[in-house]
Amino acid sequence: MSTVVRGEEELFARTAHLFESAAEVACAAADLSTFAASHRSRQPTGDYRAKRVRKIYRPAVLLDRAAAGHLGELVRLGAEVRISADEINETIILDRRVVILAGDRTAGPRGYSVLTGEETVQGVVSLFEAAWRGATELAVYDASVAEIRTLAPRILDMLASGCKDETAARSLGLGLRTYRRRVAELMTALGATSRFQAGVRAGELGLL
């Protein structure tokens, strides 16, 4: 069975009881701007150890110090968090019985598909489990991006200004090869294939 709802208010009204009663919650999202996050103040807070909570995010979320800190807090409360470089669509799985798939962000209320058909749900669960196995533990990935997180705002400013790599490197006190390596690392974290796309994605994440 599949039901499509429009807007987060309607979705929350239909599914709040499922979140409260679920013993196992699995989530995948590119960043923290999710349906669940928007209603965090209206959801149960505290220790996650009473249920199993697993979350997968894209690397870009770690470029924001506050967001990285939030993920660390989730782990402290008992959630399991991993980072995946693969493309992720916002997905929530409740007790392996209900799946919520977010639609594209377009003008007007965002659409959400609530799926309960056994075969469909199991298919989504299998995809999540494969992504989970291929993802990296938060602490490991966070350590690898700690330095680029510190440099990211200044590198993004340099890219936005259009200055040459040599000039940008000098301004940051880096060697040219080191600067270019950091730019490449930043693009990877943002999931960008060009410097222009990196700027666009950084803007979408509020990093600029």
pLDDT tens per residue, the chain (208 residues)? Answer: 778 888 888 888 888 888 889 999 999 998 786 655 555 544 445 567 778 999 999 998 898 888 889 999 999 999 999 999 888 889 999 999 999 998 877 767 788 899 999 999 999 999 999 999 999 999 999 988 888 888 888 898 988 888 899 999 999 899 999 999 999 988 888 888 888 888 888 887 777 6
> What is the SS3 string spanning 119-186?
HHHHHHHHHHHHHHHHCEEHHHHHHHHHHHHHHHHHHHHHHHHCCCHHHHHHHHCCCHHHHHHHHHHH
Say what the pLDDT of residue 57 is: 94
Smallest Cα–Cα separation from 86: which of 135, 142, 40? 135
Say what the pLDDT of residue 134 is: 95
pTM above 0.85, yes or no: no
Say what the pLDDT of residue 137 is: 95
Q: Return the CATH superfamily for domain 2-134.
A: Endonuclease Chain A (3.30.870.10)
Say what the pLDDT of residue 193 is: 86
Angstrom distance (rounded) from CA 180 to CA 28 = 31
Say what the pLDDT of residue 198 is: 87
Proportion of the chain in helix, strand, coil states, percent, rounded to 5: 55, 20, 25
How far out from the chain centre does Cα 192 lie? 15
Could you give the residue range(s) of every CATH 1.10.10.10 domain in the chain?
143-204
Other C-beta atoms within 10 Å of 19: how many?
19
Say what the pLDDT of residue 44 is: 41
CATH number of the structural domain 143-204: 1.10.10.10
Could you give the residue range(s) of every CATH 3.30.870.10 domain in the chain?
2-134
Say what the pLDDT of residue 40 is: 52
Q: Which two tokens stand for residue 59?
A: 């690397």
Say what the pLDDT of residue 92 is: 95
